[in-house]
Structure 1
Amino acid sequence: MTSPLPDYPVLPGIQSPTAVTVVDHRHIHRGFMDFSVMRLRHERFAGGMTPEIERDICHRGVAVAIILYDPAADLLVMIEQFRIGAYAAGVNPWLLEFVAGMVKPGEDPAAVATRETQEEAGCTPRAVRLIHSMLPSPGGSTEVVHLYAGLVDSTGLGGIHGLAEEVEDIRVHLVPADTAIAMLDANQVASGFTLLGLAWFARHRDRLRAEAGDGHDGPGDAALP
């Protein structure tokens, strides 16, 4: 099984178990997301193997999200859209998020982040770089999210965006950086990848502004931390 994530140890100098024996693996649904059931045994910390266990798996694929920051205006470009998972969980389904999208096999995730920014926010990011790769729900989903950061000029941005063929209805918001960080601290951000992105942004905002210079095209634009 090939992973799109680096194979880091749990902690430096710590050796984890490695053995997994798959007894049976069958797909039970194929659609926008695929679902399967796996029966397996895995190595225990104290040695030996577990009894046979059965686990359901949601095959979600690879996604990207991107923090869009205008350092000159000190604004984040964020989007609002309906999310079915939030609705099914009984949460307000119109969420404030960073631009995001799915990566098809063979696509470059950074290029997808740029394309999704153009489609969902009406602008093109520069100085795009990877800041985190994560498993949002490793207890039952294979989804990997690559989180990027990029600089934008927010002048004139706003309005409704999205692809008609995908029935996207996306509203762009220009959010002051202080407002976004305050929402993070007040537990007002429900989207997981947006929560992580804001936490990273709060730590690196000053460095972004310093290295971007005036926030428009210039020598500092390629130097995100």
Structure 2
Amino acid sequence: MKQKFSRDDIEMLSQHTVYQGFFRVDEYRFKHRLFAGGWSEPVTREVFERGHAVVVLPYDPVSDKVVLIEQIRIPVVADASTPWLFELVAGMIEPGESAEQVAHRELREEAGLVANKMVRVCDYFASPGGSSERFDFYWAKVDASLASGIHGISEEHEDIKVHVMSREAAYQLLCDGVINNASTMIGLQWLQLNYHKLREGL
């Protein structure tokens, strides 16, 4: 189904940065076309600008195992039973880098693995109501028997533990609510729908 509106149906009145620290917040003032016809009144929205990121699902189709990482995420400390989360490999895209380059780099830095194959699946917006951040999602064919240990860049205060588990066990953690971050949920649900295709021809 074709959507009715595009970027051309927005009138940007102003845009400026209201905060610049480790992350950035921009303020947008705009008008947009309405479904019922005509234009909206001026709208003001603050947008959290943190750049775009890559998320990688390391999967071994031979052993049917998944590699997850565990690290502390302090923003959830008030609302989660523990701020140490099971996650997929992920990282920010720096200027001059392609998404696939970041996928290979982060897989090496966070899990100590080299992909036998890196396949782009899709892209998605993490929280489009307040952030511009877009994720490029890849699955990486890996040898899960090579995954172990603690990884991360010490200068970036990363302390990342690698976990190897069966696809079924990883999906059960999602079903039990242990895995509750969006990128990992999306990745494991995609894998559950597609693992038969990934294992074909082995």
Same fold by TM (over 0.5)?
Answer: yes
Residue pairs, 1:207-222, within 5 angstroms: 207-211=197-201, 213=202
Q: Which amino acid aligns with 1:167?
A: H
TM-score by length of 2: 0.94
How many Å apart are 1:91 and its aligned residue?
5.0
Q: 2: distance between equivalents of 1:187 and 1:145? A: 22
Aligned Cα root-mean-square deviation (Å)? 1.5
How many Å apart are 1:198 and its aligned residue?
0.5
Q: 2: distance between equivalents of 1:142 and 1:88? A: 24
Q: Which amino acid aligns with 2:183?
A: F
Using the aligned pairs only, state the percent identity.
35
Q: Which amino acid aligns with 1:123?
A: L
Question: After TM superposition, where is structure 1 displaced by more than 3 Å over at least 4 residues in a row?
Answer: 88-91
> Of 61, 75, 90, which aligns to 1:85?
75
Q: 1: distance between equivalents of 2:123 and 2:2? A: 22
> Of 10, 23, 34, which aligns to 1:20?
10
Q: Which amino acid aligns with 2:48?
A: C
- Which moved further from structure 2: 32-41 or 58-67? 32-41
Aligned to 2:153: 163
Q: 2: distance between equivalents of 1:50 and 1:90? A: 38
Aligned to 1:125: 115
Aligned CA distance change for structure 1 residues 35 and 14 (closer, same or farther; 3 Å): closer
Aligned to 1:5: none
Matched positions, count: 201
Query: C-alpha deviations, 1:4-61, integer Å up to 9, x for none?
Result: xxxxxxxx23423641112222211112211011111111011111111111110121
What are the ranges of 5 or more consecutive residues in structure 1 without an aligned counterpart? 1-11, 214-225
Secondary structure in 1 matching 2:172: helix
Query: C-alpha deviations, 1:151-179, integer Å up to 9, x for none?
Result: 11122421110011111000000011111
Aligned CA distance change for structure 1 residues 101 and 24 (closer, same or farther; 3 Å): same
How many Å apart are 1:187 and its aligned residue?
2.9
Q: 1: distance between equivalents of 2:37 and 2:196? A: 48
